[in-house]
Chain A
């Protein structure tokens, strides 16, 4: 292994043996990962292909007509209900990812730069609420924002309002608040990881060369943590676009999102191909939006330097 070991005969033998092992390394590694890989292929890739296939078919009651058609996509993209739901879902997921990233950045910065010896304790403290049931967290927001809820009864108790406000629950703001809370930890962790990688001497160099604290933050720390901001934005944006529980529990009529429509196609409405087309459309559009976000953040990063 080491250069120094090369002369001695017994070690050279070990090296030959290790070389043989090295040659079969890809085979061994692949063999070891193949059960997990196959599992993901069969239960993730295959199902997604089946969904894509379905999106080009038609359903007649209980039978599926497998002639190729783009009709489902036409409905998904032009029917006002679906178009509105898609736009609203995109708007909500974009807003939520913006809020979570902006709110999370200072915390990640605080832990990374001021956390001292307690960094992992802080991270643990922040992640703990997120290991509790997502359903329960959404439910607690319903308890808070409801007509007879904590916020209304609290504000009335303090004499700030006279009668319960109905503006709190059952709209897209309630969905945005709940989702921002639900995804907070997912934004903090990637930003924290990228801040940890920021070379502290660079920040010091910037200061030594006369940059003020704000300037050195904007020109050194912030651009260097851009990869973390990108992954934080994506890790929040992509799953939230397809959220089902939050709009169902706190969204009311004005907060319905595309996932609720997708679910309806697989349940009551029983139109699998349309449900499939809606899923594929959602994924494609959110991927485009994610791509655009990456581009924008990268451009900003380059401009900041």
Chain B
């Protein structure tokens, strides 16, 4: 043990603590100022109120945006998870030439500047004469969600014991029966995890939606529009807090499920490992 440590653990722990503070502190100001009576976010706090939250359901434009976000999120999550399942299964189960290159291409949106991905899709869609709508937003979101879906699903599929499926087939189960009674229960947590991750990404995604939507706003676009008005800030903070909580809950559930899936197939590692 002595050999491993180049810095005393104590200093590193202190640094780790400060780092966590740096990561969380900015995010924590949103909920703090969303329950503050003052219209501008500054110290000292003036008093507790839930007024900003109460105003939210009375804003029709916001409700429309929430509904649009829900539709886009659910569609994007289902589509990208289906495409992710096919690709992750192919990558983890089969060996074939070009496998790594194809995988690289599918993962590429993760490391490309989002603006460039968005404007290139915008150009093609305009050229094809597609009118911009929530549908084009879904198409864009699926592209950026697939890499995340793949990461979650590959960690769930890797180490998947094929002999279990073979045993089921040898014991007389049909292909569909094997899938339903052997494969699905093993990978179901990973699939649900992927759905949740993709939904969360779509719910929070701004740039692609900003370029590819027509007149219909999603929640981040609604927030973007409100940011121009200083007086609307507390409402935006309240809405932002609700989104933070939603993302936090969804991602926690997704991570728990992903770990369960990884444990079932006896595979360790984090979301990116």
Contacts and interface: CB of A to CB of B under 8 A. Distances in A.
Contacts of B176: none
Interface in B217-264: 220, 223-224, 227, 236-237, 240, 243-244, 247-248, 250-252, 255, 259
Interface string A215-239: 0110001000000000000110011
Contact of A131 (B22, B115, B248): B248
Contacts of B243: 132-133, 136
Contacts of B3: 203-204, 206-208, 213, 216
Given A26-B96, A242-B116, A37 B206 contact: no
Contacts of B91: 33
A275 interface: yes
Given A50-B123, A106-B12, A245 B206 contact: yes
B86 A26 contact: no
B74 interface: no
Given A245-B207, A272-B123, A279-B119, A137 B114 contact: no
Nearest to A140: B26
Interface string A42-61: 01111110110010000000
Given A51-B120, A134-B204, A136-B243, A40 B105 contact: yes
Interface in A79-105: 103
A174 interface: no
A114 interface: yes
Nearest to A260: B115
Interface size class of B (residues with CB under 8 A): 35 or more
A120 interface: yes
B111 to A, nearest CB: 5
Contacts of B227: 139, 249
Nearest to B204: A133
A253 interface: no
Interface size class of A (residues with CB under 8 A): 35 or more
A127 B273 CA distance: 13
B26 A149 contact: no
Contact of A35 (B23, B83, B109): B83
Contact of A135 (B4, B6, B206): B206
A134 B206 CA distance: 8
B27 A157 contact: no
B60 interface: no
B99 to A, nearest CB: 7
A4 B166 CA distance: 19
Contact of A157 (B44, B99, B106, B127): B44
Contact of B29 (A122, A150, A238, A272): A150
Given A35-B86, A143-B30, A200 B4 contact: yes
Contacts of B113: 238-243, 259, 282-283, 286
A43 B135 CA distance: 14
Contacts of B129: none
Contact of B12 (A26, A110, A241): A110
A114 B124 contact: no
Interface string B17-36: 00110111011011001000
B239 to A, nearest CB: 9
Indicate the member of A32, A124, A217 with the most B CB atoms within 10 Å.
A32
A239 B111 contact: yes
A251 B211 CA distance: 20
Nearest to B126: A272
B58 interface: no
Interface of B: 2-7, 9, 12-13, 15-16, 19-20, 22-24, 26-27, 29-30, 33, 40-44, 83-84, 86-87, 89-91, 93-99, 102, 105-106, 108-117, 119-124, 127, 139-140, 142-143, 146, 200, 203-204, 206-207, 211, 220, 223-224, 227, 236-237, 240, 243-244, 247-248, 250-252, 255, 259, 270-273
Given A44-B108, A122-B16, A133-B243, 18 more contacts: A32-B89, A43-B121, A43-B124, A47-B120, A106-B15, A106-B19, A124-B255, A131-B200, A134-B206, A140-B29, A143-B41, A148-B42, A157-B43, A184-B19, A189-B270, A242-B114, A279-B115, A282-B116
